Structure 1
Amino acid sequence: MDEQLTIGELARRTGVATSALRYWEELGLLPEPARVSGQRRYPPSAVGLVGVVLMLRDVGLTLREVKTFVASRSPAGDGWRELYHRKLAELDQRIARAQVARTAIAHGLACPHEDILECSNFASGVAAVLEGRSLEEAHEEIHSR
């Protein structure tokens, strides 16, 4: 029989707190382990599964999306690809918003005013946002004049 890991051993091997491992088990990210005298006993393969959860979380998947990923991995299924396509589109949108924010901040740093609130461009941007335009639209409007 393969070596079985206690939750503490699994935590040490993966760097994940035991409380997180219990939570992930509750969410269905980790299969319910066998019990020996009431203690959880995980197969060695649980280390790899925890690694999968960590990696997917680090690339931006939520725990709910990680659960979908784990559940979608069937021999005939391509559900994980659909999830990856959606996440890629979401990341592209976030990157675009971050680039707009970066440009706006860079322009703010280049502003000659001592107090940014005295800058007419900044005031115009605030007014545009309050009128419902996105930061990108407000920024384009200011710099198209």
Structure 2
Amino acid sequence: MDEQLTIGELASRTGVATSALRYWEELGLLPAPTRVSGQRRYPPSAVELVGVVLLLRDVGFTLREVKAFVASRSPDGDGWRELCRRKLAELDRRIARAQAARTAIAHGLACPHEDIFGCSNFAGVVTARLAGSSLEEAHSH
């Protein structure tokens, strides 16, 4: 039989707190471990699975999306690709918003007015934003 890991050993090998591992197990991200005298025992493959969760979380997947991603793995399935396409589109939208915010802040820093509230460009963006324009639309006016 393969070496079984305690939750402490799994935490040590992955750098993830035992409380997080228990939570991930509760969410179904980690399979329920076997129990030996009431203590959790994980297969060595749990280390890689924790690594997958960490990687997916690092690239922006929520824990719910991670669960769907892991569940979508099947030899004939392509569900994980669709999840990736959706996440990529979401990231593109977030990047566009962040770029618009960066441009607006850079313009604010370049403003020659001592008080930004006295700048007609700033006032125009505020007015457009209040009229329902997005930051990208408001800043382009």
TM above 0.5 = yes
Q: Secondary structure at the match of 2:5?
A: coil
Quote the offset at 1:36 in angstroms.
0.4
Task: Note the 1:1-145 alignment, pairs <5 A.
Answer: 1-141=1-141
Distance 2:127 2:11 in 1: 51
Aligned residue-pair number: 141
Distance 2:80 2:118 in 1: 50
> How much identity, in percent, do the aligned residues show?
84
Distance 1:117 1:12 in 2: 53
Unaligned runs of 5+ in 1: none
Distance 1:126 1:67 in 2: 41
Unaligned runs of 5+ in 2: none
Q: Secondary structure at the match of 1:114?
A: coil
Q: Give every structure 1 segment of 4 or more consecutive aligned residues whose post-TM-superposition deviation is greater than 4 Å.
A: none
Quote the offset at 1:116 in angstroms.
1.3
TM-score (norm 1): 0.95
TM-score (norm 2): 0.98
What do the CA deviations read for 1:41-75 (whole angstroms, capped 9, x no partner)?
00010000000000000000000000000100011
Distance 2:10 2:116 in 1: 52
Q: Secondary structure at the match of 1:25?
A: helix
Quote the offset at 1:15 in angstroms.
0.4
Q: Secondary structure at the match of 2:40?
A: strand
What do the CA deviations read for 1:14-49 (whole angstroms, capped 9, x no partner)?
000101000000000000000000000000100000
